[in-house]
Structure 1
Amino acid sequence: MNLVGRSVKRFAGETPIGRKRRARKMAKVLAETHPDAHCELDFTTPLELAVATILSAQTTDVRVNQVTPTLFKRYVSAADYAAADRTEMEELLRPTGFFRAKTDSLIKLGQTLVDKHDGVLPAKLPDLVALPGIGRKTANVILGNAFGVPGITVDTHFRRLTNRFGWVQEEDPVKIEFLVADLIEKRDWTMLSHRVIFHGRRVCHARKPACGACTLAAMCPSYGAGPTEAPAAAKLLKGPRARDLAAAAGVDPDLVPVAAVTTPEAP
């Protein structure tokens, strides 16, 4: 039986209001479980975040953060990107992969901002998604983290986990965004996205989630998709807070191997 089928079976008969209450309880526990959740792209201005988010496609935030310090020193304004030398920018972006397409997006982004927005990144969703290189996911990242406008970012982790949680039975990112928005209070949307992503990297892995060391176990319809025994589950936890996560789930932190703490979290 697939995960969606298992979710439906365990919570068969759950009412819409029951799902909303359970989702909000899970969101509260996620806040307690991952107090360090945050946007992992380094930026100081909305434009910098827009650029970093465009560069993050098909690569890691760590790699992007290695490239952007030099990039941001050289290109400060939208006009700088609009007038950029293509060959020079491509060399800077080469480590992020797909550097030619990304260079094209950044130059066109700068040109569009100069031509249509007086060089200033707009703070409204319809305006953002009309810009080169910026889709709905990127726009929500920018709105939530640069402008303080609540937004839900549906990436691979978010899509996988919201289905496992039984919050949705959907693969389309836009539909997931709207369905989750109906479950969770608007003020929590931005941070919920970060917390779900952190949980996906640290605990609820794609192939083998650490079900027996998960703080959401009692509320998750997909409990049992991974090992439920504490020793086996604890070994699957990843990241610098792996032992804290084990303790929060009522599992002996000493069951978490040293390698789990030092192994980088999944991108």
Structure 2
Amino acid sequence: MAHAGTLHIGNLSKQFEVKGQALPVLQNITLTVNPGEFVSIVGSSGCGKSTLLRLIVGLEADYQGEVLLDGQRIVGTSLDRGIVFQEHRLFPWLNVEQNIALGLLNAEQPEADKQRSVREHIALVGLTGFEKAYPHQLSGGMSQRVAIARALVSRPEVLLLDEPFGALDAITRAHLQQELHRIWLAEGITMILVTHDVEEAVYLGQKVVVMEPRPGRIRRTVPVPLSYPRDRLSAGFNQAKEEVLAEFAGTA
């Protein structure tokens, strides 16, 4: 099981230069994610959700404030932080186990340990028997499982998920939400999910961070004090959904 990291974001602001003018994207974001916590982030398009993930993973460096993992400022990318995007981004000329092994490319481990870890993570995402399959032979859901395994194989402290199921049909999406919850419990790491889907956010998250746009700010953090597994038809689940949706309407 991986070590679960503590993420602290303090007074974070970010802007881009557009035609010589400053365009604020994030403003005064302060958020703490505790070890092993599952946090969902929701907000309309343009509120900076994906930019926030890019800052956490280390793909963006120019910002004000602080982004700390276990008390250390994040500088550049690292195996401590894995990320899964909406597009699986698998290499079509590599098979399943080869795509997953890319997550260990820079890991200082003996080759035998790497091979064992790849096998373990293929089993973790339920793809045993598909080790030699190529991306064109997989469904969209299976391809996303490979992407999740690739992000987890290096045993990161934090896994970031940027709309990972957004391109999938509703049935596959619901099934993979269940699978992601199972993987979270099995791995015990900190997970941060960005999504447009309020139901998905409430189904998975222990708390839901609601952002508002231009520039992106945290409107409210809504706790979801429901036990797992969650019943989407229960009164408590629908109450939590309504509480989050009310923030979008500005009526809470």
TM-score, length-scaled by structure 2: 0.28
TM-score, length-scaled by structure 1: 0.27
Structure of higher CA gyration radius: 1
Q: Identify the structure with the greater strand proportion.
A: 2
Structure possessing the higher relative contact order (Cα contacts under 8 Å, 6 or more residues apart): 2
Q: Identify the structure with the greater helix proportion.
A: 1
